[in-house]
Structure 1
Amino acid sequence: MPTAPTRAGAATESEPAPALELQDLSWAVGGAVIVDGVALAARSGEFVALIGPNGAGKTSLFNLVSGLTRPTRGRVLLSGADVTRERPYQRTRRGLGRTFQTSSVFADLSVEENVGLAAQARTGDSHRFWRRAASASGPRTAEVLELVRLAHRSGAEAGGLSHGDKRKLELALLLARGPELILLDEPMAGVSAGEVGELTGVIRDVQRERRCTVLMVEHHMEVLLELADRLAVMHHGALLAFAAPETAMADPQVQAAYLGEPL
């Protein structure tokens, strides 16, 4: 008997569904097209760097993936499930986690208490806000803090951390929820030059240890070239290239649009 065709985004026995698949994803405001027909598929455990000049639509694409913005056309699939109409919290339950360009931690709580709150949210106990978050800490919290290299600062007040350490703490908050897909929106923004290397190492360790899929927007090209399996290059809302770093960077369209001149 002939084999029935497989629908887009569906898994097969030999090939699992991508961790993230975007199909003709578009978003327009009035007559302005911000994201224009983006189509890509990120494999489970893959590290994808999203690059492009300012205004290329990178953060807007993240907003579409995370559910903060609803597309005017196209679909978003997480592990084969169509989540295009789902709200952000529903996508979080499916294993999507995201950081933003601006650091967001509970400044008056300790590092451990911040992670404890995230752990409570994962188990559905976050409504008990009067209970000290540290009481929810345990092996998972300790493991997460060790992974992001903050175990030695567990008792420190989060508001007193350096910007780089706050970025590590944001990663810890995501990891406490057990995400399978992580969106990192300019994690190096505001981080001192001396902390960039350390934070890069933390992100690499997190991705390898947890085997999660990572999409990252970042302007530090040396960081992206060290971490990324593939580069997704955006320009004027459209995807110019989606390939291994050396292939994408050698593309004449990428060089003209993003780098301004041939390498």
Structure 2
Amino acid sequence: MLELAGLSWRIGAVRIVDDVHLAVPEGEFLAVIGPNGAGKTSLFNLVSGVHRATSGAVLLDGRDVTRQPPHRRARGGIARTFQSSSVFATMTVAEHAELAARAAGARRVTAAAVTRLLARVRLEHRAGDLAAGLSHGDKRKLELAMLLAPTLAGDGPRLLLLDEPMAGVAAEETSELSSVLRELHQGEGRTVLMVEHHMDIVLGLADRVAVMHHGRLLAAGTPAAVMADATVQDAYVGEAL
């Protein structure tokens, strides 16, 4: 589904992302790990179009989208979240879902359809609540509902880019949020790329792990193979993944 071919992004002489080659088949859950400053979020910015690569290519279903702006890539099936939650404090949970569906082109959004959408992220019981009153974990689930809202207008996103979805989420909420992510991947068959620092979450969800280090892709493979890789171990002596 997604191929990164020699993808690079530099600012002046500094290479933030450096010659990344990576292929992600449809239906895979790929976790991207590495210390702060490794280039993980910058990689997501290049895939989603927030930044434009200085060299290399981003291919979606074999189509070169490297020069496309973010909204074109979104229409092509890419959806993403960011490290910081972004919801409207004075809008209800249901209003968020309806707004996102209408933005995707849904002409008529019924209350029943919104309820079904919210149920996919286990928020149907909060439909009438203001976003300001949600826990951080529920705000993360609401963001996922907004990513999925285009399904009310058509097929919806096929590739989800999740940038540290567990950041700031209370420990007692991570299990349910992990279950929601697992259902989106396994139950709905969506392809997921996730940046995450919590290794227990990564090992519980990911089919493969990609390790970033100083802007380069250091290794990619099954979680067990990557954790046992001598190059990865050498690179991270004294550093936390």
Shorter-chain TM-score tier:
over 0.9
Secondary structure in structure 2 of the residue aligned to 1:172: helix
Identify the residue that residue 45 of structure 2 maps to in structure 1: 63
1:28-177 to 2 correspondences below 5 Å: 28-123=10-105, 136-177=109-150
Distance 1:100 1:253, change over 3 A: same
Secondary structure in structure 1 of the residue aligned to 2:129: coil
User: How far apart are residue 259 of structure 1 and its match?
Assistant: 5.5
User: How far apart are residue 136 of structure 1 and its match?
Assistant: 2.7
Distance 1:259 1:119, change over 3 A: farther
Identify the residue that residue 157 of structure 2 maps to in structure 1: 179
Which amino acid in the other structure matches residue 241 of structure 1?
A
What is the alpha-carbon distance in structure 2 between the residues aligned to residue 211 and residue 140 of structure 1?
Answer: 20
Determine which structure has more spread, i.e. the larger CA radius of gyration: 1
What is the alpha-carbon distance in structure 2 between the residues aligned to residue 231 and residue 72 of structure 1?
Answer: 25
Q: Which runs of 5+ in 2 are unaligned?
A: 151-155
Which amino acid in the other structure matches residue 32 of structure 1?
V
Identify the residue that residue 212 of structure 1 maps to in structure 2: 190
- TM-score calculated relative to the size of structure 2: 0.94
- TM-score calculated relative to the size of structure 1: 0.86
The answer (yes or no) to whether the contact 1:140–1:176 under 8 Å persists in 2 is no
Secondary structure in structure 1 of the residue aligned to 2:104: helix
Which amino acid in the other structure matches residue 179 of structure 1?
P
Q: Which runs of 5+ in 1 are unaligned?
A: 1-18, 126-134
Over the aligned positions, Cα root-mean-square deviation in angstroms equals 1.4
What is the alpha-carbon distance in structure 2 between the residues aligned to residue 28 and residue 100 of structure 1?
Answer: 21
The answer (yes or no) to whether the contact 1:115–1:137 under 8 Å persists in 2 is no
Secondary structure in structure 1 of the residue aligned to 2:166: coil
What is the alpha-carbon distance in structure 1 between the residues aligned to residue 186 and residue 170 of structure 2?
Answer: 24
Relative to structure 2, which stretch is displaced further, 203-212 or 97-106? Answer: 203-212
What is the alpha-carbon distance in structure 2 between the residues aligned to residue 180 and residue 244 of structure 1?
Answer: 22
Secondary structure in structure 2 of the residue aligned to 1:136: coil
User: How far apart are residue 124 of structure 1 and its match?
Assistant: 6.2
Secondary structure in structure 2 of the residue aligned to 1:232: strand
Identify the residue that residue 130 of structure 1 maps to in structure 2: none
The answer (yes or no) to whether the contact 1:231–1:248 under 8 Å persists in 2 is yes
Which amino acid in the other structure matches residue 176 of structure 2?
E
Could you report, residue by residue, the CA deviation over 1:15-61 in whole angstroms, capped at 9, with x for unpaired residues? xxxx1110000011011011010001111110000001111000000
Could you report, residue by residue, the CA deviation over 1:95-116 in whole angstroms, capped at 9, with x for unpaired residues? 1000001101121111011000
Give the share of equivalent positions with the same residue, in percent.
59
| Corresponding residue to 2:177 among 178, 186, 199 | 199
What is the alpha-carbon distance in structure 2 between the residues aligned to residue 140 and residue 222 of structure 1?
Answer: 34
Which amino acid in the other structure matches residue 104 of structure 1?
S
User: How far apart are residue 257 of structure 1 and its match?
Assistant: 1.9
What is the alpha-carbon distance in structure 2 between the residues aligned to residue 82 and residue 41 of structure 1?
Answer: 14
Could you report, residue by residue, the CA deviation over 1:85-144 in whole angstroms, capped at 9, with x for unpaired residues? 00000000001000001101121111011000011011166xxxxxxxxx7344442222
Could you report, residue by residue, the CA deviation over 1:213-246 in whole angstroms, capped at 9, with x for unpaired residues? 1000010000000000000001000001110110
Identify the residue that residue 229 of structure 1 maps to in structure 2: 207
Distance 1:259 1:42, change over 3 A: farther
What is the alpha-carbon distance in structure 1 between the residues aligned to residue 178 and residue 203 of structure 2?
Answer: 11
